[in-house]
């Protein structure tokens, strides 16, 4: 987004993108963890911030991340920005994928640090690591609000519009022929753009507007001790079974000791030697299950932590 220094080399540019995106996510996911997890433990609840503080921290995170990375890489800190610059501004296509990977890696490391730092608060506020605290690390349709009927396509539409709005405004602010902000204030104005988008376009899907912010922090969520929250995959630490399922379900073969060659959980078919044995379910109010003879089918219900 800013003019980058010539001759820094690709490694220097990638390091800057990594650091800048990491700063963004440290402030962004950090404030959500404080509001959601820490705020749930105050008396009265909600004493550590609200939606406005989240929007401001994300915006300031963008500003500070841009200041960190601008000198070496131009401070894209967003794969969507990198792609747009390649399409419209002549940014080298050979750098698009490396930039996106560095940005996603920076987001991943930042999310791990947030997860580590807020371990106690997250465990106390949400012992089962359920949908209640999923929004700390990932966005989802309607932000998990069951009263808001926004599905995947509605969230997709929302992200397309929000990201397009971000890119349009960033291009306008950084265009040297369009009276850009002086005194090196462009990063601050870009941060204000993110604040405004958060305050106006955050209902339907959490205004990720950044693939690195979406994919990077999602991976710590799918680690064994937080399984069932990420929506990317769930994994049990005892079975090695892995299954791409939504956060409202868990792998039906959690007792599996011999996963299939593809790495996914085999269907519970007692006639097969390598299949997981059928379990004796005891459905409770939080686990809605429908059992059939040859397989297991889970109906939609609240997230269930994997032990």
- pTM of this prediction exceeds 0.75: no
Exposure string (b/e) for 111-150, b if CB count within 10 Å is 16 or more?
Answer: bbbbbeebeebbeebbebbbbbbbbbbbbbbbbbeeeeeb
Percent of the chain with pLDDT over 90: 59
> In whole angstroms, what separates CA 143 from the centre of its chain?
12
What pLDDT, on the 0 to 100 scale, is given for residue 76? 97
> Please, which contacts does 260-266 make with residues 24 or more away whose CB atoms are closer than 8 Å?
265/239, 265/241
Q: At what angle do helices 9-33 and 51-73 cross, to 10 degrees?
A: 170
Instruction: List pLDDT tens digits, range 75-110.
Output: 999 999 999 999 999 999 999 999 999 999 999 999
Separation CA 3–CA 13 (nearest Å):
12
| Tokens describing residue 264 | 């996914």
**Residue 262 or residue 297, greater confidence:** 262
Greatest extent of the chain over all pairs of C-alpha atoms, in Å:
73
Percent of the chain with pLDDT over 70: 69
Which residue from 117, 120, 99 is spatially nearest to 109, judged by alpha carbons? 117
- List strand residue ranges (DSSP E) for the chain, in order: 234-235, 242-243, 289-291, 296-298
Dihedral, CA atoms, 88, 8, 111, 81, nearest 10 degrees? -10
- CB contact at 8 A, 204 and 142: yes
- CB contact at 8 A, 236 and 187: no
Q: What's the average model confidence in pLDDT over 252-262?
A: 41
How many Cβ atoms are within 10 Å of 307's Cβ, its own excluded? Answer: 9
What pLDDT, on the 0 to 100 scale, is given for residue 60? 98
The alpha-helical segments, DSSP class H, found in the chain are 9-33, 51-73, 79-88, 96-117, 119-125, 152-174, 186-200, 211-215, 218-221
Among 192-201, 214-223, 288-297, the least confident range: 288-297
What pLDDT, on the 0 to 100 scale, is given for residue 295? 33
- Residue 222 confidence (pLDDT) above 80: no
What pLDDT, on the 0 to 100 scale, is given for residue 51? 92
Q: State the pLDDT confidence band at 143, using cuts at 50, 70 and 90.
A: confident
What pLDDT, on the 0 to 100 scale, is given for residue 218? 78
Backbone angles phi, psi at 209, to 5 degrees: 45, 25
What pLDDT, on the 0 to 100 scale, is given for residue 240? 32
Separation CA 265–CA 255 (nearest Å):
10
Per the prediction, the chain carries an average pLDDT of 78
Which residue from 39, 10, 200, 224 is spatially nearest to 101, judged by alpha carbons? 10
- CB contact at 8 A, 118 and 137: no
**Residue 261 or residue 100, greater confidence:** 100
Separation CA 160–CA 228 (nearest Å):
27
Q: State the pLDDT confidence band at 2, using cuts at 50, 70 and 90.
A: low
How many Cβ atoms are within 10 Å of 75's Cβ, its own excluded? Answer: 29
Separation CA 264–CA 236 (nearest Å):
12
Residue 86, classified by CB atoms within 10 Å of its CB into exposed (0-12), middle (13-18) or buried (19+), is middle
DSSP assignments along 124-138, one per residue: HH-TT--GGGGGGT-
- The residues pairing with 290 across neighbouring beta strands, listed in sequence order, are 297
């Amino acid at each position: 987004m800013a003019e980058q220094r010539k001759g820094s080399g690709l490694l220097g540019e990638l390091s800057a993108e990594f650091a800048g995106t990491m700063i963004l996510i440290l402030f962004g996911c950090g404030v959500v963890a404080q509001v959601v997890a820490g705020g749930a433990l105050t008396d009265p609840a909600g004493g550590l911030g609200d939606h406005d503080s989240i929007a401001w921290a994300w915006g300031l995170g963008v500003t500070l991340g841009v200041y960190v990375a601008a000198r070496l890489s131009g401070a894209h800190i967003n794969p969507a920005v990198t792609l747009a610059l390649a399409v419209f501004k002549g940014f080298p296509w050979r750098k698009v994928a490396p930039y996106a990977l560095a940005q996603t890696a920076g987001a991943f490391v930042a999310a791990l640090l947030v997860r580590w730092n807020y371990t106690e608060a997250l465990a106390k506020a949400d012992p089962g690591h359920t949908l209640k605290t999923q929004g700390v690390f990932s966005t989802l349709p309607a932000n998990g609000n069951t009263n808001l009927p926004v599905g995947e396509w509605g969230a997709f539409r929302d992200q397309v519009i929000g990201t397009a709005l971000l890119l349009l405004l960033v291009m306008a602010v950084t265009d040297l022929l369009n009276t850009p902000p002086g005194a090196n204030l462009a990063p601050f104005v870009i941060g204000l753009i993110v604040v405004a988008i958060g305050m106006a376009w955050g209902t339907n899907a959490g205004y990720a507007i950044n693939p690195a912010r979406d994919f990077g922090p999602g991976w710590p969520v799918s680690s064994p001790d937080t399984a069932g929250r990420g929506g990317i995959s769930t994994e049990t630490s005892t079975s090695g079974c892995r299954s791409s399922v939504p956060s409202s379900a868990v792998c039906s073969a959690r007792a599996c000791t011999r996963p299939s060659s593809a790495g996914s959980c085999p269907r519970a078919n007692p006639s097969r030697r390598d299949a997981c044995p059928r379990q004796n379910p005891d459905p409770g109010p939080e686990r809605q299950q429908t059992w059939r003879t040859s397989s297991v089918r889970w109906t939609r219900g609240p997230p269930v932590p994997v032990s």
